[in-house]
Amino acid sequence: MLVNLKYVLDLAEKGNFAIPAFNVYNMETVMGIIKAAEETKAPVIIQNYSRLVTNEEGYYLAPIVLAAAEKASVPVCFHLDHGASEEAVVRSLRFGATGIMIDKSLLPFEENVAATKSVVELCKAVGVEVEGEIGHVGTAANGDEQTTEYTTVEEAKTFVENTGVVALAIAVGTAHGRYKKAPRIAIDRIAEIHDAVDASLVLHGGSGIPDEEIKASIKAGIRKINFGTDICFSFLDKVFETSRDVYAIDLFMKDAIENVKEFAIKKIKLLGAENRI
C-alpha cells in the first residue's frame, strides 16, 4: 500500500529499527525491492534520484513505482532523493511522490534553512512531508567519509525547529558511493542529535558500511538508511553474468531481479525491518 513518509518513519521510531530506502532506476529494480519487502513483511521507501525526475526517465518510472506500491501488501513510501531544485520537487509531487527530500546542504546554513522551509510549506499544501539535510555528506570516491565536520546538535535542533522537516539527514562520517576504506561513524553524535530533535534521523551512503556500524547507528537513533550504489551493482553484476544466448529481455532480466531482491532482503533484515507488518 502506498503511504506517506511520516507513516513509515513513525513505525521505525516506535519499533527502534530503520526503514531501508532503496534507489530504483528501472522496472526491474522496482520489482526486486517490492518482492523483497513482501517476502520479509517489511515497510520500505522506494526513491527516485533527483536527476531521474528532471530528466525523462522519471516520467516513465514514476507510474511503475506507484503501481507497485499500491499493489503491495506492505507499506511503501515513494520518495524523492536529494531533490536539487524546486523543479524536481514539483515534478515529483505531480508524479505522485509521498515523500520529498530537498538537499540544500551546500548552501550556508541560514540559506539552507530558508530554502528547506520554503519546500516544506509547498509540500504541506498537498499533505507531503519533507526530509532535509545539514552537514556535508560527500562522495566516497573523494575520500569524503574521513571528514570530521560532523553535524552538531545545535545545528540539527535549530534546523528542525525552523524548517518543519520530519526527517533529517546528518553528516556523521558517511559518504555516497563505494568506500575506499570502511568509514568511521560518529555513533555518539547520532545519539546526541536523536535525543535533541523532533525528527527522524537519516543515514545517507549506506552502501558499504560494515554491518556492525549499521546496527550501532540504528541503536543510537537512525531511522532511515539509504542504499543506492549497491542496488546498481546487485543489478548490473547479474546482468553482466547472464548469457547473451538468452535474448528475450523479460527472461534475460529474471536473474537480475532476483539478485536485487536478495540484496534488499539482506538489508531489510540488517536494519531490523523484517516482520514489522
Average pLDDT of the chain to the nearest whole number: 93
Kindly give, in sequence order, each residue whose CB lies less than 8 Å from that of residue 114, ignoring residues fewer than 6 positions away: none
Tell me the residue length of the chain.
277
pLDDT beyond 50 at 255:
yes
Q: How far apart are CA 167 and CA 108, in angstroms?
A: 20
CATH of domain 2-270: 3.20.20.70
**Residue with C-alpha cell 530554502?**
115
Q: Is the pLDDT of residue 147 over 90?
A: no
Cα angle, residue 111 at apex, residues 131 and 133 outer, rounded to 5°: 25
Residue recorded with cell 540484496: 263
Q: In this structure, are residues 205 and 170 in contact, taking their beta carbons and an 8 Å threshold? A: no
**Sequence-ordered strand ranges (E) for the chain:** 2-3, 19-23, 44-49, 76-83, 99-102, 129-134, 138-139, 167-170, 175-176, 200-203, 222-227
Maximum distance among all Cα pairs of the chain, rounded to whole angstroms: 59
Residues annotated in a binding site for Zn(2+): 82, 103, 133, 176, 204
Q: Render pLDDT for 7-21 as a digit per residue (tens, 0 to 9).
A: 999 999 999 999 999
pLDDT at residue 165 tops 50: yes
pLDDT digits (tens, 9 = 90+) for 25-34: 999 999 999 9
Band (pLDDT 50/70/90 cuts) for residue 208 is: confident
Instruction: Give this prediction's pTM.
Output: 0.92
Q: Which residues belong to the annotated binding site? A: 82, 103, 133, 176-177, 204-207, 226-229
Q: Mind telling me the catalytic residues?
A: 81
Output the known binding site for dihydroxyacetone phosphate: 177, 205-207, 226-229
Rounded-to-integer distance, Cα 173 and Cα 136, Å: 9
Domain ranges of the chain: 2-270
Helix (H, G, I), strand (E, B) or coil at 61: helix
Q: In this predicted structure, what is the pLDDT of residue 145?
A: 46
